[in-house]
Amino acid sequence: MRAILEVENLNLSLAVPGGILQAIRGLSLKVETGETLCIVGESGSGKSLTALSLMGLLPQTAVLKSDRMHFMGHDLTRLSDREFANLRGDRISMIFQEPMTSLNPCYTIGNQLMEVYLRHKNGGTARARDRAAEILNEVGIANPETRMIQYPHQLSGGLRQRVMIAMALICEPNLIIADEPTTALDVTIQLQVLSLLDSLRKKHGTAMIFITHDLGVVAQIATRAAVMYAGQIIETAPIEQLFKSPAHPYTRGLIDCIPAPGKTNRNQPLKTIPGEVPDLTRDLSGCAFRSRCSKAGDVCFEEIDNSEIAANHFCQCIFPES
Q: Decide which of 320 and 264 is more confident.
A: 320
Residue 203 reports pLDDT greater than 90: no
Q: Are 270 and 316 in contact (CB under 8 A)?
A: no
User: Which residue has better confidence, 204 or 105?
Assistant: 105
Question: What's the pLDDT score for residue 141?
Answer: 92
As a whole number, mean pLDDT of residues 234-261 equals: 91
Predicted local distance difference test score (pLDDT) of residue 137: 93
Residue 86 has φ and ψ, to the nearest 5°, of -70, -35
Phi then psi for 246, rounded to 5 degrees? -65, 130
Better-scored residue on pLDDT, 224 or 205: 224
Q: How far out from the chain centre does Cα 35 lie?
A: 13
Report the pLDDT value the prediction gives residue 35, as an integer from 0 to 100: 94
pLDDT tens per residue across span 124-161: 999 999 999 999 999 989 999 999 999 999 999 889 98
Name the residue among 47, 8, 20 with its Cα closest to residue 226.
47
The conformation of residue 232, written as its DSSP 8-state character, comes to E
Q: What is the average per-residue pLDDT within 155-183?
A: 91
What does R_g of the chain's alpha carbons equal in angstroms? 21
For residue 61, the one-letter residue type is T
Amino acid at 179: D
Q: What percent of the chain has pLDDT over 70?
A: 99
Read off the pLDDT band of 322 (50, 70, 90).
Answer: low
List of long-range contacts for 16-22, beta carbons under 8 Å, 24+ apart:
16/281, 18/279, 18/281, 19/281, 19/282, 20/281, 21/280, 21/281, 22/231, 22/280, 22/281, 22/284
Predicted TM-score (pTM) of this structure: 0.92
